[in-house]
Structure 1
Amino acid sequence: MEFKNLLIETADGVATLTVNRPQALNALNSEVLTELASAFYQLEYDPAVRVVVLTGAGEKAFVAGADIKEMAAMSSFEGHQFALKGQHCMMAMEKMKTPVIAAVNGFALGGGLELALGCDFIYASEKAKLGFPEVTLGIIPGFGGTQNLARLIGKNRANELIFTGRMIAADKAQAWGIVNEVFAPEELLVKAKETAAAIAGVGPLGVTYAKNAIANGLNMGKEDGFRYEASLFGVLFGTADQKEGMGAFVEKRKAVFTGK
């Protein structure tokens, strides 16, 4: 499928998905959100893809936010529908069996930060700036930002970032636990792809089930989470990947996983 606002390149199990609207700092309008949801579905079911690296075109922005020009004239009903559309896109990514790494190369503001938070983890450039400026526009984050940020870094810090509308630098975002690692701009994609390649080289079913266990376990009590983890652990013992992985270990050879 061809996309107007996205670029997809795939090599060695790693797909690089680039939001490609540099003239608009990669802002998310309705068209881009629709394309992203379609791309997540396409990549999830592409047998050649085991990991996705998500980034933005150009040097200035990952995604600078939702498209304010489109939002400015919206009615209350239209705003509600736009939020639901954005949330659908984020949930489509979060529910992917395929891990997604955000490579934040510049501004990740509003909807852009929400997009990054929907990824499994975030790497950032030293030049990256992150924040939720929605209150400066008289609104709030609408693509899941209030929920994902508070769950990630706690209520108090989420309150501070969202209530003030301020941007924070990549190093502070790392200290707060939003960003995993910070790299020089020229190293960002290289490092993200290195990590993606490491993930692509292990058992894909193990990675998928681990992602599932972590995401769903966070919404359970601890004992229920333990039981859920044990059930998934057991299911994996019925897979060819488990037989291959443990057989390769015993035989002192490299495992060749098929995702079955």
Structure 2
Amino acid sequence: MNEVLLAGPSDGVAVLTINRPEARNALNQRVRQQLAEHFAALGRDPDTRCIVLTGGSSFFAAGADLKEIASASPIELHLRNVHRLWQAIAECPKPVIAAVNGYALGGGCELAMHADIIVAGDGAKFGQPEIKVGIMPGAGGTQRLTRAIGKFQAMKLLLSGLSITGKEAFAMGLASEVVPDDEVQARALELARMIAEQPPLAAAQIKEVLLAGQNAPLDAALMLERKAFQLLFASEDQKEGMAAFFEKRKPVYRGR
């Protein structure tokens, strides 16, 4: 059984759907492996310009599959190299949109935070409840959450295990948009198609520079931005984009 379904790419948009409804899309090793394989392949695919990651209209991912790890030893966890599977998602050069309905808890929240844009339903539930079962986040929850919403909000969620709604996540800065639950999937696809129409080289440079610059001194980050800006003037897409602007027509970007 495929526990991650791939649709597309169609018009530049690929959709990855976690498919473990019987477990509320809990993240087991197979799901992580399949996600890593898909993200690596789509990152290399010239026909893919944007990726939508979803769990469907009921839940995004309810967390890690505790049945797999409850009795594991530290060495067993180390040998699983789960961090390498997460790394394949984090390093994907294509823009990634998480469409979040329902639960995005624990590993599910961490997975959503690997995306570049989060579209949340107003009834979505975000949180890092690992402390309630005697552990802590292990796939970026303490780090990405703090960078998204700040130390004091992150500490409250991490130390209490409380969850927040999509509306609360948006207010804190964890979600890019919040929409009614029944509009999440359509809105994520709408944004993805909008991004897929943009020049892919520019999109890739924007993502790379933004992520690399987050942890760099401002002067170094500005240098990265400046060099990437200059580099794009070697692309055919830059010529096409500016010509289309002057000719008052829609540009056609080819990623060259």
2:232 maps to 1:230: no
Match of 2:185 in 1: 189
Question: Following the alignment from structure 1 to structure 2, what is the Cα–Cα distance between the partners of residues 151 and 54?
Answer: 21
Match of 2:108 in 1: 112
Match of 1:42 in 2: 41
2:27 maps to 1:31: no
Partner-residue secondary structure (3-state), 1:246: helix
Question: Following the alignment from structure 1 to structure 2, what is the Cα–Cα distance between the partners of residues 198 and 188?
Answer: 15
Question: Following the alignment from structure 1 to structure 2, what is the Cα–Cα distance between the partners of residues 7 and 178?
Answer: 26
Match of 1:57 in 2: 56
Which residues in structure 2 correspond to 1:64-213 (within 5 Å)? 64-82=62-80, 84-85=81-82, 87-213=83-209
Alpha-carbon distance, 1:97 to partner: 1.3
2:219 maps to 1:219: no
Question: Following the alignment from structure 1 to structure 2, what is the Cα–Cα distance between the partners of residues 78 and 109?
Answer: 24
Contact 1:6 1:17 in 2 (8 A): yes
Question: Following the alignment from structure 1 to structure 2, what is the Cα–Cα distance between the partners of residues 58 and 23?
Answer: 14
Alpha-carbon distance, 1:105 to partner: 0.8
Alpha-carbon distance, 1:244 to partner: 1.1
| TM-score for the superposition, normalised by structure 2 | 0.96
2:237 to 241, 244, 247: 241
What is the one-letter code of the residue matched to 1:54?
L
What is the one-letter code of the residue matched to 2:4?
L
What is the one-letter code of the residue matched to 2:190?
E
Match of 1:9 in 2: 7
Contact 1:22 1:58 in 2 (8 A): no
Alpha-carbon distance, 1:240 to partner: 1.0
Aligned residue-pair number: 255
Question: Which stretch shifts more, 89-98 or 156-165?
Answer: 89-98
Partner-residue secondary structure (3-state), 1:39: helix
Alpha-carbon distance, 1:120 to partner: 0.3
Distance change (3 Å), C-alpha of 1:230 and 1:245: same
Match of 1:18 in 2: 17
Question: Following the alignment from structure 2 to structure 1, what is the Cα–Cα distance between the partners of residues 171 and 150?
Answer: 13
Alpha-carbon distance, 1:207 to partner: 0.7
Question: Following the alignment from structure 2 to structure 1, what is the Cα–Cα distance between the partners of residues 85 and 241?
Answer: 34
Name stretches of at least 5 consecutive residues in structure 1 with no aligned partner.
none
Alpha-carbon distance, 1:201 to partner: 0.7
Partner-residue secondary structure (3-state), 1:160: helix
Partner-residue secondary structure (3-state), 2:252: coil
Partner-residue secondary structure (3-state), 2:234: coil
Contact 1:22 1:57 in 2 (8 A): no
Question: Which stretch shifts more, 34-43 or 244-253?
Answer: 244-253
Among all aligned residue pairs of Structure 1 and Structure 2, give the percentage whose two residues are the same amino acid.
Answer: 45
Once the two structures are superposed, what CA deviation does each residue of 1:19-43 show, in whole Å capped at 9, x if it has no partner? 0001111111111111110000111
Once the two structures are superposed, what CA deviation does each residue of 1:110-129 show, in whole Å capped at 9, x if it has no partner? 00000000000211112211
Query: Which runs of structure 1 show a deviation greater than 6 angstroms over 4 or more consecutive aligned residues?
Result: none
Contact 1:91 1:118 in 2 (8 A): no
Contact 1:102 1:119 in 2 (8 A): yes
Contact 1:26 1:57 in 2 (8 A): no
Partner-residue secondary structure (3-state), 2:157: helix
Distance change (3 Å), C-alpha of 1:174 and 1:91: same
Contact 2:57 2:185 in 1 (8 A): no
| TM-score for the superposition, normalised by structure 1 | 0.95
Question: Which stretch shifts more, 64-73 or 40-49?
Answer: 40-49
What is the one-letter code of the residue matched to 1:196?
A
